[in-house]
């Protein structure tokens, strides 16, 4: 499997592939009625599909509890670290410039 092949895939095909390799959960039970949900194609969703409960008709994202959720958390953490680092860096720059401009 090539990365390029993944991009050319139909969203639903891609989802099924991600499920096969374990990056997405292959099944999901409805949090409301505890029934097995079905994977439905949804053009409106960024993911291209979502879980649908045939009983209460509620939808659920395919990302919940998946690799993507963990990835999102990781990205958020990284952004916080970068922001923190940038602030620290600014502080050092100010201190350094003050030191340089000080008459010797
Ligand atoms: Zn339900």
Predicted confidence (pLDDT) per residue in 30-83, tens digit: 999 999 999 988 877 767 888 999 999 998 888 766 666 677 777 777 778 778
Distance 41 CA to ligand 1 centre (A): 18
Q: Verify that 46 and 93 share a domain, yes or no.
A: no
Higher pLDDT, 2 or 29: 29
pLDDT for res 34: 94
Letter string b/e over residues 75-84, b meaning 16 or more CB atoms within 10 A of that residue's CB: eeeeeeeeee
Distance 14 CA to ligand 1 centre (A): 25
Distance 40 CA to ligand 1 centre (A): 14
Q: Verify that 7 and 53 share a domain, yes or no.
A: yes
Distance 8 CA to ligand 1 centre (A): 33
pTM: 0.53
Distance 21 CA to ligand 1 centre (A): 27
Alpha-carbon span 68 to 74, nearest angstrom: 10
Alpha-carbon span 39 to 32, nearest angstrom: 17
Separation in Å, CA 79 to CA 10, 70, 85: 31, 14, 10
Residue 104, domain extent: 67-104
HSE-CB of 25 using CA atoms within 13 angstroms: 17
Q: Verify that 26 and 41 share a domain, yes or no.
A: yes
pLDDT for res 104: 60
């Amino acid at each position: 499997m090539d990365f390029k092949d993944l991009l050319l895939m139909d969203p639903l095909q891609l989802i099924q592939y991600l499920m096969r390799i374990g990056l997405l959960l292959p099944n999901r039970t409805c949090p409301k009625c505890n029934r097995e949900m079905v994977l439905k194609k949804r053009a409106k969703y960024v993911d291209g599909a979502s879980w649908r409960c045939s009983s209460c008709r509620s939808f659920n994202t395919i990302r919940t509890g998946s690799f993507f959720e963990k990835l999102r958390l990781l990205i958020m953490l990284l952004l916080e670290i970068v922001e923190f680092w940038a602030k620290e860096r600014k502080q050092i720059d100010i201190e350094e410039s003050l030191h340089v401009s000080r008459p010797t």
